[in-house]
Amino acid sequence: MASELYNTIDALSREKGIDPQIVVSAVEDAIVVATRKYYKSQENLRAQLDKDTGKIRAFAVKTIVEAPEQVEDPTLQVTIDEARKSDPNAEVGGELQIPKVTEGILGRIAAQLAKQVIFQKVREAERDTVYNEYIGRVGEIVNASVKRIEGPDVIFDLGKAESRMPRKEQSRLESFAIGERVRVVIARVEKASKGPGVVVSRAVPELVQHLFQTEVPEIYDGTVVIRAIAREAGER
């Protein structure tokens, strides 16, 4: 049975439309950051979330070498003799996991740092999800609703993501109201964008073509073919 923590992660993943494992990895990375800060250690730290119990285990990992003279960095390597004191089944070339106490180490600063790591990872995953969802739909016309106005830009809700319509992608004759539903063309997708990664337009010629295809049966079924469209939005 999944733990309460994992159920929370699963719910967050569904809400954001991302893989639960991405959130799990973000939590584990956050614990590593907090553990490293607490111990002030340069060890190779890892963390692992137990899905069933919700407990997170942090540990240092050292590579096992055969002889003491092969140990170049004691924080990263350990001899086979030392390793077998903790793990009788240890083998040269393998790894030794040294548990780290994590209970009680998440002080206020460490907890804030952990939250920042999780937030950053989730945001990165969201951007990747949006990019993969819409990159193949550039040039497509979609229904969107006006979510808010940010300066000259209009932010639209596409259902699965937000999109942005810069001033240059708008017709000068149009104005928008919050909640208004309009049809827009997906102009481009910006993976590295800090804000909404999808840019939409009502100024591109493709909008006219799509509207004709929707409203004129002969164009929709190919009887009449549009060869080219020239448009200056708000002008002609």
What per-residue confidence (pLDDT) applies to 168? Answer: 87
User: What are the Cα distances from residue 115, in Å, to 31, 50, 95?
Assistant: 10, 19, 29
DSSP for 105-156, written as a single string: ---HHHHHHHHHHHHHHHHHHHHHHHHHHHGGGTT-EEEEEEEEEETTEEEE
pLDDT at 216 over 70: no
Judged by DSSP in three states, 33 sits in helix
Mean pLDDT across the chain: 80
CA nearest 127: which of 10, 12, 18?
Answer: 18
Both tokens assigned to 24: 């799990």
CATH number at residue 35: 3.30.1480.10
What per-residue confidence (pLDDT) applies to 31? Answer: 84
226 belongs to a structural domain:
no
CA nearest 35: which of 98, 79, 89?
Answer: 98
pLDDT at 190 over 70: yes
**Which pLDDT band holds residue 236 (cuts at 50, 70, 90)?**
very low
How many domains does the structure of the chain reveal? Answer: 2
Tally of CB atoms within 10 A around 22: 18
Kindly tell me the sign of the dihedral angle through the C-alpha atoms of 59, 63, 69, 73. Answer: negative
Is the same domain home to 155 and 87? no
Alpha-helix runs per DSSP H in the chain: 4-16, 20-39, 80-86, 108-134, 205-215, 217-220
CATH number at residue 177: 2.40.50.140
Is the same domain home to 41 and 147? no
User: What are the Cα distances from residue 217, in Å, to 27, 210, 212, 229, 230?
Assistant: 53, 12, 9, 18, 22
pLDDT at 96 over 90: yes
pLDDT tens digit sequence for 14-24: 877 778 888 88
Continuous segment of H or E residues that includes residue 95? strand 95-100
Q: Which residue has the higher pLDDT, 192 or 136?
A: 136
Does the pTM surpass 0.85? The reply is no
Is the same domain home to 147 and 209? yes
Both tokens assigned to 227: 């060869």
